[in-house]
């Protein structure tokens, strides 16, 4: 029997793309999309969709039973910038959604869980270049603290209850199907939209702010690969570093100019600059490569080409 998969947060930046890929693998009717907001037409029309506030544990359990769900991908969260503006809700949503889902697996209702962590688990005292898998972690944002807490719980549930939870520390994610969702790395998505529509963009980070990023097709593939890997290959149960590609707003703007020569960028840093300054500039993901065979595909050049092509074709 094929697994039935529940994606919580199917209207967000990752969920919008992940549901489509999972439906190709598991079959449309075996991937249940859910979100507090309506998802894209493509998602609602191609398979089941349930309205769900993941903080409502009773409703979550009803959906699990109704569809006999065996795997959950939990993507609902308040990202770094939004969580700073709404501290209590950010903390509650990020922590309680996770504990509600972890209890599903502890109680034997589902077999496997995916939960994303982030480069936000690192902080000012972390080595910034080639940040190792195991290093100093002193996050100083609501989002980063919630992700660090979540990682500890992942490992605890694995050790204590043998719960099969898998996790990746995503870099900033860049995709064309959905808008960015309130994070510090959003500029790298917004810049493409505005370059195409207005040939100009005002960036909320300084020109030389290096951050690790990843193109969505790589992020979706990494997510599905770690979930499909044999359990014994998933040796790290907190969360795996993922490197992606590191660049500055200036470098990205230069790349965009090769396709849109009149494109102009200006800089007006806001509160997100401080968040960016506390995060790594590049990541060492050799553990993911060694343990379950992770390999990056998209470079900055390849990603920019594909983003611009898709945004032009689909707008």
| CA atoms of 33 and 216, how far apart (whole Å) | 18
Q: Using the rule CB under 6 A, is 73 a contact of ligand SER?
A: no
Q: Is 278 in the site for ligand SER (CB under 6 A)?
A: no
Among 49, 67, 122, 143, binds ligand SER (CB under 6 A): 143
Range in contact with ligand SER (rule: CB under 6 A) among 56-64, 127-135, 153-161, 182-190: 182-190
Q: Which of 26, 67, 134, 143 is catalytic?
A: 143
Task: Name, in order, each residue with C-beta under 8 angstroms of 306's C-beta and a sequence gap of 6 or more.
Answer: 176, 215, 217, 298
Binding mask 99-138 for ligand SER (x = CB under 6 A): -------------------x-x------------------
Our finding on whether 79 is near ligand SER (CB under 6 A) is: yes
Candidates 172, 175, 244, 249; binder of ligand SER (CB under 6 A) is 172
Contacts of 150 (CB under 8 A, 6+ apart): 94, 95, 98, 115, 117, 167
**Which residue from 219, 211, 236, 234 is spatially nearest to 13, judged by alpha carbons?**
219
Expressed in percent and rounded to 5, the helix, strand and coil fractions of the chain are: 45, 15, 40
Find the angle CA(82)-CA(99)-CA(110) to the nearest 5 degrees: 120
Site membership for ligand SER, residue 183 (CB under 6 A): yes
CB of 131 to ligand SER, least distance (A): 14
What token pair was written down for 147? 């992700």
As measured in angstroms, the least distance from the Cβ of 75 to ligand SER is 12
- Report helix, strand or coil for 301: helix
- Burial level of 78, CB count in 10 A (0-12/13-18/19+)? buried
Closest separation between CB of residue 30 and ligand SER, Å? 28
Centre a 10 Å sphere on the Cβ of residue 87 and count the other Cβ atoms it contains.
12
| Residue 41: both structure tokens together | 């037409």
In the complex, the smallest distance separating the C-beta of residue 79 from ligand SER, rounded to whole angstroms, is 4
- Per CB under 6 A, does 222 bind ligand SER? no
Interaction of residue 185 with ligand SER, rule CB under 6 A: yes
| Shortest CB 166 distance to ligand SER, Å | 17
Q: Which of 184, 223, 246, 304 binds ligand SER (CB under 6 A)?
A: 184
Question: Looking at beta carbons only, is 118 or 126 nearer to ligand SER?
Answer: 118
Residue number of the CB atom closest to ligand SER? 183
Q: Whole-angstrom Cα distance, residue 140 to residue 44? A: 37
Run of H or E residues at 155: helix 142-161
Number of CB atoms found within 10 A of residue 315's CB: 9
Q: Is 67 a catalytic residue?
A: no
List active site positions.
143
Contacts with ligand SER, residue ranges (CB under 6 A): 79-80, 118, 120, 143, 170, 172, 183-185
């Amino acid at each position: 029997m094929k697994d039935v998969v529940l994606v919580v947060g199917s209207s967000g930046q990752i969920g919008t793309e992940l549901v489509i890929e999972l439906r190709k693998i598991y079959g449309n009717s075996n991937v249940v999309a859910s979100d507090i907001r309506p998802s894209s037409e493509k998602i609602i029309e191609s398979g089941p969709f349930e309205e769900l506030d993941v903080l409502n544990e009773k409703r979550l359990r009803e959906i699990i039973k109704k569809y006999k769900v065996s795997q959950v991908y939990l993507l609902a969260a308040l990202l770094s910038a939004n969580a700073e503006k709404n501290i209590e809700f950010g903390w509650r949503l990020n922590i309680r959604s996770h504990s509600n889902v972890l209890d599903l697996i502890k109680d034997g209702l589902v077999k496997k869980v995916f939960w994303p962590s982030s480069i936000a688990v690192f902080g000012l005292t972390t080595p910034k270049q080639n940040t190792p898998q195991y290093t100093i972690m002193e996050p100083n944002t609501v989002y980063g603290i919630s992700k660090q807490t979540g990682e500890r719980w992942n490992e605890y549930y694995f050790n204590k209850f043998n719960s099969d939870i898998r996790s990746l520390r995503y870099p900033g994610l860049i995709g064309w199907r959905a808008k960015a969702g309130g994070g510090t790395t959003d500029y790298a998505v917004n810049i493409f939209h505005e370059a195409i529509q207005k040939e100009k963009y005002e960036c909320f980070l300084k020109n030389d702010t290096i951050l690790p990023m990843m193109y969505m097709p790589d992020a979706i593939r990494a997510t599905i690969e770690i979930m499909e890997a044999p359990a014994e290959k998933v040796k790290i149960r907190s969360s795996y570093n993922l490197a992606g590609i590191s660049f500055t707003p200036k470098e990205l703007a230069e790349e965009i100019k090769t396709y849109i020569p009149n494109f102009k960028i200006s800089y007006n840093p806001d509160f997100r600059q401080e968040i960016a300054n506390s995060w790594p500039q590049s990541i060492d993901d050799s553990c993911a490569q060694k343990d379950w065979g992770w390999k990056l595909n998209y470079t900055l050049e390849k990603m920019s080409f594909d983003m611009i092509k898709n945004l032009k074709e689909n707008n």
